[in-house]
Chains A and B, each alone.
Chain A
Amino acid sequence: QLQLRESGPGLVKPSETLSLTCSVSGGSIYSDSDYWGWIRQSPGQGPEWIGNIFFSGKTYYNAALGSRVAMSVDTSRNQFSLRLTSVTAADSALYYCARVRMATVTRYNFYFMDVWGKGTTVTVSS
């Protein structure tokens, strides 16, 4: 059974870089049909998509985060990672990683996040 687990520092200072890793077990990140995503959620708010990465390293990011976000993948370790630079208090949130899967319904391809990690809390504070 596929499992995802987020890891990384729980406390980051303002203006520094947030770095998180998602470890994938029970399956391979080397999949030609799945993307891997990062999502965050502030208390009392809905989830916010951060970005997706393919095993090849192809990435797609939420434009609202601009050039601050970068994702990478390490297929040898079955992991993918998130870097968010120049963080502020507004970046404090619960960060999740998830699998983005595709299914074909009536000849059309649909995507959804079907497996999630438990999440890791990141606080930005001096």
Chain B
Amino acid sequence: DIQLTQSPSFLSASVGDRVTITCRASQAINSYLAWYQQKPGEAPKLLIYAAATLQSGVPSRFSGRVSATEFSLTISSLQPEDFATYYCQQINNYPRGFSFGPGTKVDVK
């Protein structure tokens, strides 16, 4: 099974900061990775798919990159509404296998 790890697990930041979250896959998954944002009491919200394609309606301050088995989600200028938990998800063996990373919580410094 493909395992995903995320770093850091927790991140304290201020409004306006540039924030980068990393997700590593235990084996090659090409670009079959998505990023989600989840706020307390809400369902996850899709931000990025295909590692770097922004979902419609998502602000352009969010971006994704891939390098081999390492993926990153960057928020160029953190906004108050961006404090949340972020999860990566691999879909390399569609439709048989989806799995999520353990999450990165971004909170106020």
Q: Report whether chain A binds chain B.
A: yes
**Taking A103-B53, A112-B46, A116-B43 as contacts, is the C-beta distance between A52 and B95 under 8 angstroms?**
yes
B89 to chain A, nearest CB (A): 8
CA distance in complex: A108, B101 (Å): 23
| B-facing residues in A23-73 (Cβ within 8 Å) | 35, 37, 45-49, 52, 60, 63
Chain A residues with CB under 8 A of B53: 103, 105, 110
- Summed over the interface, the residue pairs from A and B with CB atoms below 8 Å come to a total of 70
- Max count, chain B CB within 10 A of own CB: residue among A46, A52, A117, A118: A46
Interface size class, chain A: 20 to 34
Q: Mark B38-51, 1 if CB is under 8 A from A, else 0.
A: 00001111100110
Chain B residues with CB under 8 A of A118: 42-43
Chain B residues with CB under 8 A of A110: 31-32, 49-50, 53, 91
Is B55 touching A114 in the complex (CB atoms < 8 A)? yes
Chain A residues with CB under 8 A of B94: 109, 111
Is A47 touching B87 in the complex (CB atoms < 8 A)? yes
B34 contact from A35, A60, A112, Cβ within 8 A: A112
B46 contact from A45, A96, A113, Cβ within 8 A: A113
State whether the Cβ of A18 lies closer than 8 Å to any Cβ in chain B: no
> In the complex, what residue of chain A is closest to B32 when comparing beta carbons?
A110
Is A48 touching B100 in the complex (CB atoms < 8 A)? yes
B52 to chain A, nearest CB (A): 9
Chain B residues with CB under 8 A of A105: 31, 49-50, 53
Is B91 touching A47 in the complex (CB atoms < 8 A)? no
- Max count, chain A CB within 10 A of own CB: residue among B1, B34, B43: B43
CA distance in complex: A60, B94 (Å): 9
Q: Which residue numbers of B lie inside 8 Å of A, CB to CB?
A: 1, 30-32, 34, 36, 42-46, 49-50, 53, 55, 87, 89, 91, 94-103
Q: Which residue numbers of A lie inside 8 Å of B, CB to CB?
A: 35, 37, 45-49, 52, 60, 63, 96, 98, 100, 103, 105, 108-114, 116-119
